[in-house]
Amino acid sequence: MRTIHQINLQRHFGGGEVYTRFVCAALAELGWRVVLYVSVDADFWSRLNVRAELAPVASLNEVAAKLPENSVVMTHNVLNIHEARAWSARYVLTGFLHMPLYDRDPAGLASYRRLFGVSRHVLDSAQAKGLANAWPEPLYGVADLERGATPGEIRKASEYDWDRRKLRDRTLGLLEPLASSLRSAPPFSRRPGLTLGIVSRLTPIKQWPLLFRYLAPILARHPQVNVEIFGSGGYASVRDLRRALAPLGDRARFWGQQQDMRGVYPLLDYVLSGLPEKEALGLNLIEAQSCGTPVLAVNAPPFTETVLDGASGYLYADPRTDQGQGFAVLLDRLLAGAPRPDPRLAAQHLEKFGAAAFQARLAAALDGLA
């Protein structure tokens, strides 16, 4: 049996980790033995039912010490130029591009045998950087919601993803559970009106505070619109998003990161995208559509690859170009009774993001490597 060694040393759970999970599943279906090296500080892998042999490590050097010569290696964290050159001399080095490269230094990527972009948007950025080793077809993600979570009530969890390396975060991370224990945590219930949702890590690449600098004043004019936020992020990211959502008052609620994602999406009328240019794909939008929840997204890549306008959601002009007027017009249409699309009826569109399609794309991308 062929063996492939995947590396994902992220300490926090996000879209890249969901992606890693279904890559493992696809590789297993294709007949590969999969070894997945993960950070000893990441405690979530054992709960995700990953189809791989988990190997917790403290550093990249520890991975190198374990790898046999000429191993097929697949990274989810880009190696720097020195690491990539050294590894490419010893191993068959491949890797996923989980971020567009327009404002990033790609120096280490030139040493990879083969690179896999998760969207056309990402591949275009690789081509713009002159990376001829990028596989020409995007490896679109999968609406993978089978993560071992037990269905149940959605209750508030922490919206903070504390960075234990920072003194402030360590201190606040100890105090927050004490404060939370003094407050009741009622289950989620929909409120009357239109429910828009964020289902996402609250990270800088999504640019949520900047988005709501334009959208929040528009939403504030419509008291029948609520915003529900499912996800967590660093202290500064949450603080800045709260400030941007201030015009909505208590119509914007934070629920923290949830485990039962199949239970979250049907609670929402529409799921919102962030701003586009730093985004690689938007797995949350793919997941929402697979659950029958349409999407409101900025009309730009990569969202133009994952959202079928009018059938799986609606696209609107980047609010930075028109001060949010396109969104305001769309919101008026929705409140006036515009049809709510059912993405599940767009079967051909959703098939692109199914497990079978991903497995076929991955098989083609790996052809000839081992």
Residues 6 or more apart whose Cβ sits within 8 Å of residue 239: none
Q: What sections of the chain are H helices per DSSP?
A: 15-29, 60-66, 81-90, 120-128, 167-181, 208-220, 235-245, 261-264, 283-290, 303-306, 319-322, 325-335, 347-351, 355-366
Q: What is the dihedral of CA 13, 208, 264, 256, to 10 degrees?
A: 60
* pLDDT at 73 > cutoff 80: yes
Q: Residue 102's pLDDT is what?
A: 86
The pLDDT tens digits for 322-357 are: 999 999 999 999 999 999 999 999 999 999 999 999
Strand, helix or coil at 229?
Answer: strand
The pLDDT tens digits for 36-46 are: 999 999 999 99
Work out the pLDDT band at 52, boundaries 50, 70, 90: very high
Mean pLDDT of the chain: 92
DSSP letter, residue 346: -
* pLDDT at 151 > cutoff 90: no
What the chain holds in terms of domains, given with CATH numbers, is: 3-142+354-366 (3.40.50.2000), 167-351 (3.40.50.2000)
Q: Is the overall model pTM greater than 0.75, yes or no?
A: yes
Q: Residue 170's pLDDT is what?
A: 47
> Which of 28-32, 101-105, 180-184, 290-294 bottoms out in mean pLDDT, i.e. has the lowest?
180-184
Q: Residues 144-165: what's their mean pLDDT?
A: 77
The pLDDT tens digits for 202-217 are: 999 999 999 999 999 9
Give Cα separations from 292 to 230, 267, 338 (angstroms): 17, 11, 17
Q: Residue 161's pLDDT is what?
A: 85
Q: How far apart are CA 106 and CA 118, in angstroms?
A: 16
Query: Percentage of the chain surpassing pLDDT 70?
Result: 92
